């Protein structure tokens, strides 16, 4: 469950508009929630200038998937919206960069790389929207695709990590079992060696024997 929270929260950041909500203390979700990118994106998604011009178009500042209206929007950014979009794109790049070191230090290499790749994909998508190569509806549809792909990749990473952990545990158990068996075998050999020689001596009517 904790790992799932991590994957969901990380994928939410990658989707470009949703910031992770509250998580239980010490959960895996805290790893993402403590990422400087998370707090930076939270501030960005609450910027009145950006939200006021792009919130209903791009879902900035709102939770959940794009609405039907957002997916069906066939308009392109106008001059005012482009101004806000440019500010959003630059600020978003800074947010992503602010957490790069943190992710390398606190996340597995696979998850950190997946987040960086997802962030780069979103940056390209925002650039295409700004350039007029995409409508808002096309942008929102592809944003969903990027988020879904990120969750799928992270799910694969999680499965690989589970398998690697299980294999490591199996190897440790096998090594412990082998070490125990070797110790028992060595103990048996030593016990067998102890009773190999018996010396006896007679003193009068008494017979004394020593085995070693």
Half-sphere exposure of 160 (CA within 13 A, CB side): 10
Task: Name which of 39, 48, 18 is nearest 150 in CA terms.
Answer: 18
pLDDT 10s digit of each residue in the chain, 212 long? 444 445 555 555 655 555 444 433 334 567 778 999 999 999 999 999 999 999 999 999 888 899 999 999 999 999 999 999 999 999 999 999 999 999 999 988 888 888 888 889 999 999 999 999 999 999 999 999 998 988 888 778 777 777 877 788 888 888 887 887 888 888 777 766 665 566 777 777 777 777 66
Q: Which one, of 141, 98, 100, lies nearest residue 117 by Cα?
A: 100
Q: What is the pTM (predicted TM-score) of this model?
A: 0.67
In terms of residues, how long is the chain?
212
Place of tokens 């929270």: 5
* Nearest one of 212, 210, 175, 167 to 191, comparing CA atoms: 212
54/82 Cα distance (integer angstroms): 9
List the one residue out of 99, 119, 120, 113 whose CA is nearest residue 156: 113
Helix (H) or strand (E) holding 211: strand 206-211
Residue 126's closest CA among 164, 79, 90? 90
SS3 assignment, position 181: helix
87 Cβ neighbours under 8 A, 6+ residues apart: 49, 50
- Within 10 angstroms of residue 147's Cβ, the number of other Cβ atoms is 22
How far is Cα 182 from Cα 68, in angstroms, rounded to an integer? Answer: 67
């Amino acid at each position: 469950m904790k790992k799932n929270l991590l994957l969901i929260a990380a994928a939410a950041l990658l989707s470009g508009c949703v910031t992770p909500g509250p998580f239980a203390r010490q959960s895996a979700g805290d790893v993402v929630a403590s990422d400087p990118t998370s707090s930076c994106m939270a501030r960005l998604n609450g910027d009145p200038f950006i939200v006021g011009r792009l919130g209903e178009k791009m879902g900035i500042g709102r939770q959940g998937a794009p609405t039907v209206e957002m997916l069906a929007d066939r308009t392109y950014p106008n001059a005012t919206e482009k101004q806000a979009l440019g500010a959003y794109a630059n600020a978003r790049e800074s947010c992503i960069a602010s957490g790069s070191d943190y992710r390398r230090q606190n996340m597995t290499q696979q998850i950190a790389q997946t987040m960086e790749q997802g962030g780069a994909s979103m940056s390209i998508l925002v650039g295409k929207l700004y350039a007029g190569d995409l409508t808002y509806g096309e942008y929102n549809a592809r944003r969903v695709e990027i988020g879904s792909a990120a969750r799928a990749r992270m799910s694969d990473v999680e499965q690989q990590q589970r398998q690697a952990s299980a294999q490591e545990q199996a190897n440790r158990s096998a090594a412990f079992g082998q070490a125990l068996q070797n110790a028992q075998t060595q103990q048996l050999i030593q016990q067998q060696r102890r009773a190999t020689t018996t010396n006896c001596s007679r003193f009068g009517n008494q017979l004394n024997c020593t085995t070693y």
